[in-house]
Structure 1
C-alpha cells in the first residue's frame, strides 16, 4: 500500500525508527509497537481511503484481540471523515499536518538549544512529558498514574531508540540547565523529515 498522507508517511517513519513493526497487507498496514502495547497510535491499522472503515475495524479486532479500544487510520489527504465511518460508534480524530518545502529559521531563541544526549537529558524529557497539561493526558494520569508513567517512559525510550538508530535527533531548549521544550527531527525519506 502506497501511503498518500504525508502525515501518516512520516508517522510511520518515526515509529519504524523507534522499533515499531509495520506489515503491509494489500489495502492496509498493521502497525505494532511491542515495547508499548498500550500506545494507541503505535498499535493500529491504517487502511486505504477506498476501504470501508468497518472492514478496518474487523482487521483491528483480528490483529489486536485484547485491545480495549479501536485505532484505525484512514489514509486520506482531504481531511474528511469517510462516510463509511458514520454509525460505527467511533470518535473521529482528524489531524492537521503542516508541511513546508524547506526548513526556515525562527530567529534567536533565549535558551541553550542542543541535542539530548545524557541520561539526565532523557530523564528531564520524561518529567516534561509527565507534566503535560493536555486534558487527555491529565485524565489518563488521574485514572492510572502508574500506567501513564509506564506509557510516558515507553515513549521516551522510543524517542531515544530513534536517536540511537541514527534516524533522528531530539533537540532540547534548556534554561538554567532545565529542559523547557523539545523538538524531534527524524529522517522520513530521501528528501523528507518529520518535526
Structure 2
C-alpha cells in the first residue's frame, strides 16, 4: 500500500495517481499498480490497473484486472510506459470488444506563455455552495453537449465533486472559476505536489468560448501550482490536436508522452465521462 507516484515511470501515471490522492487505495506490485476508490466504484479512471513496462498480453492482463478489481463492472487499464502507441499487439483487445484509447501527455518545460484575464471577467477560487452548484451545472451541460446522458452524468459528476472538495479542503488541489458578473462561464481544476501538477476538467460556456478565458485560467492554475511547489512540472492529458490540447500548446505546453488505455465499459456501452485534462 502507498501512493505509487514515486514508482511510476511516466508523468501521465504519476499525475493520475496524484489526482486520486487521499480518496483512493493504491497497491503496488512488481508488475503493476492497482488504483481503487471504494466510494466511487463506477468511476472508471479511479478503479483501474497500470501495468509497468510495455508488455502487452491481452488475455493475461484482462484476467489480472478481474483478479485485482473483481467488483468492477467495467475493465480499464493502461501501460506505464512513455512512448506506447496502439499497434498490432493490441489488436486482440478490439476483438474482445475493448475500446483502445491513445492519450497525449503534455507538460510545461519552458516559461509559460502567460495570458491576461479578459476584460469583464473575474477569475477566483471556487468557494461557496452557489459556486460549486454552478461548476457542477456547467460540467453537466458541457457533457450533454458532447452526447452524454444528463441524468447518469449528473450522478457521476456530483459524486466526483464530493471527493474533489475533500481534496481541496485538505490542500491537495484548487478549483478556479471565471465569472462574468455572478455567472460562472469557465472553470478548471489543478492538483499539485513537489514533482508534478495536473490540470482537470477545463470547461467553458458556449457563449464565452474563443475569448481567451481558458488560457487565462491556465495561467492562474500554473501560478497556484508553482506557489505550492516551485519545481513542480505542470501536466495534462488530452489529444494534442483537440480543443484542450490546442489551448495548452498555445500556453507553452509540449508533447511529452503517449499513453495507451484499454477500456471495456459495463454492458457493452461506451459512455465514460471524458477526462479532458
SS of alignment partner, residue 87 of structure 1: helix
TM-score (structure 1 length as normaliser): 0.86
Change (3 A) 1:45 1:82: farther
For 1:84 and 1:28, how far apart are their aligned partners in 2?
A: 19
Q: Deviations over 1:41-65 (max 9, x none)?
A: 1110110124434232112111222
1:60 is aligned to 65
1:153 aligns with 2:158: yes
Say which of 4, 11, 28 aligns to 1:6: 11
Question: What displacement does 1:82 show?
Answer: 5.6
Greater alpha carbon shift after TM alignment, 38-47 vs 150-159? 150-159
Question: What displacement does 1:133 show?
Answer: 3.9
SS of alignment partner, residue 191 of structure 2: strand
Ranges in structure 1 where 5+ consecutive residues have no aligned partner: none
Change (3 A) 1:50 1:96: closer
Aligned residue pair count: 188
2:116 is aligned to 107
Say which of 18, 41, 47 aligns to 1:43: 47
For 1:191 and 1:25, how far apart are their aligned partners in 2?
A: 22
1:173-184 matches, cutoff 5 A? 173-184=178-189
RMSD: 2.1
Greater alpha carbon shift after TM alignment, 83-92 vs 118-127? 83-92
Q: Deviations over 1:10-50 (max 9, x none)?
A: 11101114x11111122101111122111111110110124
For 1:23 and 1:118, how far apart are their aligned partners in 2?
A: 35
For 1:174 and 1:122, how far apart are their aligned partners in 2?
A: 13
Question: What displacement does 1:81 show?
Answer: 2.3
Assess if the C-alpha contact under 8 Å between 1:79 and 1:96 holds in 2: no
1:81 is aligned to 86
Question: What displacement does 1:117 show?
Answer: 0.9
Q: Deviations over 1:65-104 (max 9, x none)?
A: 2433210111121141265432133211111121112562
Q: Deviations over 1:87-138 (max 9, x none)?
A: 1332111111211125622123341100011111111111111112467x63
Question: What displacement does 1:185 show?
Answer: 1.6
SS of alignment partner, residue 108 of structure 1: coil
Question: What displacement does 1:192 show?
Answer: 2.3
Change (3 A) 1:28 1:163: same
Change (3 A) 1:84 1:49: farther
1:91 aligns with 2:99: yes
Higher relative contact order (CA closer than 8 Å, sequence separation 6+): 2
